[in-house]
Amino acid sequence: MVNSYDHDYEDNFVDSFGRPLRDLRISVTDRCNFRCQYCMPKELFGPEFEFLRRQDIMSFEEIDRIATLTASLGVTKFRLTGGEPLLRADLHKLVSKLHTIPGVEIALTTNGTLLKKHAQLLANSGLNRVTVSLDSLDDQTFRQMNDVDFPVEAVLEGIEAADYFGLGPVKINAVVRKGVNDHTILELATYFRGTPHIVRFIEYMDVGNSNGWVMDEVIPSSRVITQIGNVFPLEKLPSNYNGEVASRYRYKDGAGEIGLISSITEPFCGNCTRARLSADGKFFTCLFASGGTDLLKEIRSGATDEHLIEILKSIWLPRNDRYSELRTEYMELLTEEKKIEMSYIGG
């Protein structure tokens, strides 16, 4: 198993399996205006749910400080997430701050509901690109999945706005769940075929503890490839960069590409170069983590940059996370651990 982590990185800032830190995913809020069953089911995240208090959330200055330090350790991409990140007021001001850090790309993952309103300002502030979550083009299916009766058309308008203002090509993330939206896979692929945008089909994952995940509801990526490939022949492409989570396929007739994110059937722990920062300043080394390190507490206690760097080193260098590989080997053991919710840590 260890051989799968055998990389030849020039950087010395690598974990116990030789994986460098390249991608920091920054949650700016734990709130969302959707109640998707696989992330924030309204039965648990209802009107009485207590979200983070404003004073407990990182300021843009605090986020920028941590981001700058991670860039000095090798991070080359910041991805702003949530919850729904565009619910955070004046998000473009954070983008402007991060944009001053040299050599770093800034991306945003959003459900697209507010993208039409904010796309131009975000682009002008230095945002490089956008990923939009869109689980189905069938309006009834999509409304049922977001569970707030939000229409597909408004998300499509957000994607068009992002593309118009230079934030494309847009990546579209679709979580595929058996018996829920798997019948709309081909429709989604067909709609974006012939455009520069890339649909990425994601296997339904056991993130957190509240989404009722069972293996029987997972549609393997191999089945998605077969379903689409039977209509539009596909061929595999190499990764764009080391650590890319999506397997790439292009249409043989040149009409674009799609991606598959296969955390369940084909774990990619061996190339994981990502860390996550929650909205209240906790640093996590895995999407399936059960706990993180409180950097915000350190900052508000007067920690120097040097001290924060030492904390980051103490977290990353001994890192040995490989949950998705262990899932299949030790399913019964791992299900006993309480995992952080996706809405808190960012997807």
Q: Which of 73, 65, 55 is nearest to 26 (CA)?
A: 65
Please, which pLDDT band fits residue 128 given cuts at 50, 70 and 90? very high
Q: What is the mean pLDDT of the chain?
A: 89
Per-residue confidence (pLDDT) for residue 325, from 0 to 100: 62
Per-residue confidence (pLDDT) for residue 269, from 0 to 100: 81
Contact present, 172 and 159 (Cβ < 8 Å): yes
CB within 8 A of 129, min separation 6: which ones? 105, 107, 108, 167, 168, 169, 170, 171
Top-confidence residue, 71 or 287: 71
For the cut 70, the answer to whether the pLDDT of residue 34 exceeds it is yes
- Which of 4-8, 49-53, 254-258 is predicted least confidently? 4-8
Sign of CA dihedral 79, 211, 59, 72: negative
The CA distances from residue 125 to 100, 101, 169, 229, in Å, are: 10, 13, 18, 39
Per-residue confidence (pLDDT) for residue 337, from 0 to 100: 58
Please, which pLDDT band fits residue 17 given cuts at 50, 70 and 90? very high
- Region 320-340: mean pLDDT is 62
Contact present, 201 and 174 (Cβ < 8 Å): yes
Per-residue confidence (pLDDT) for residue 264, from 0 to 100: 82
For the cut 70, the answer to whether the pLDDT of residue 212 exceeds it is no
Per-residue confidence (pLDDT) for residue 211, from 0 to 100: 55
- Which of 29-38, 149-158, 311-320, 321-330 is predicted least confidently? 321-330
Q: CA–CA separation, 122 vs 239, rounded Å? A: 28
Per-residue confidence (pLDDT) for residue 206, from 0 to 100: 66
Alpha helices by DSSP H, 168-256: 185-192, 221-229
Per-residue confidence (pLDDT) for residue 271, from 0 to 100: 86
For the cut 60, the answer to whether the pLDDT of residue 210 exceeds it is no
Per-residue confidence (pLDDT) for residue 288, from 0 to 100: 75
Joined together, the tokens standing for residue 290 give 């059960």
Please, which pLDDT band fits residue 155 given cuts at 50, 70 and 90? very high
Per-residue confidence (pLDDT) for residue 332, from 0 to 100: 52
Q: CA–CA separation, 115 vs 288, rounded Å? A: 28
Backbone angles phi, psi at 176, to 5 degrees: -100, 125
Residue 290 CA, distance from chain mean position: 17
For the cut 50, the answer to whether the pLDDT of residue 330 exceeds it is no
Which DSSP state fits 54?
G
Per-residue confidence (pLDDT) for residue 39, from 0 to 100: 85
Please, which pLDDT band fits residue 234 given cuts at 50, 70 and 90? very high
CB within 8 A of 214, min separation 6: which ones? none
Place of tokens 């749910």: 49
Q: Which of 154, 110, 103, 155 is nearest to 130 (CA)?
A: 110
Q: CA–CA separation, 45 vs 327, rounded Å? A: 26
Task: Summarize pLDDT for 276-326 with one digit per residue, the tens.
Answer: 999 999 999 988 777 899 999 999 999 999 999 999 999 999 998 776 666
* Domains annotated on the chain, with CATH: 13-345 (3.20.20.70)
The CA distances from residue 266 to 221, 257, 323, 324, in Å, are: 9, 20, 12, 9
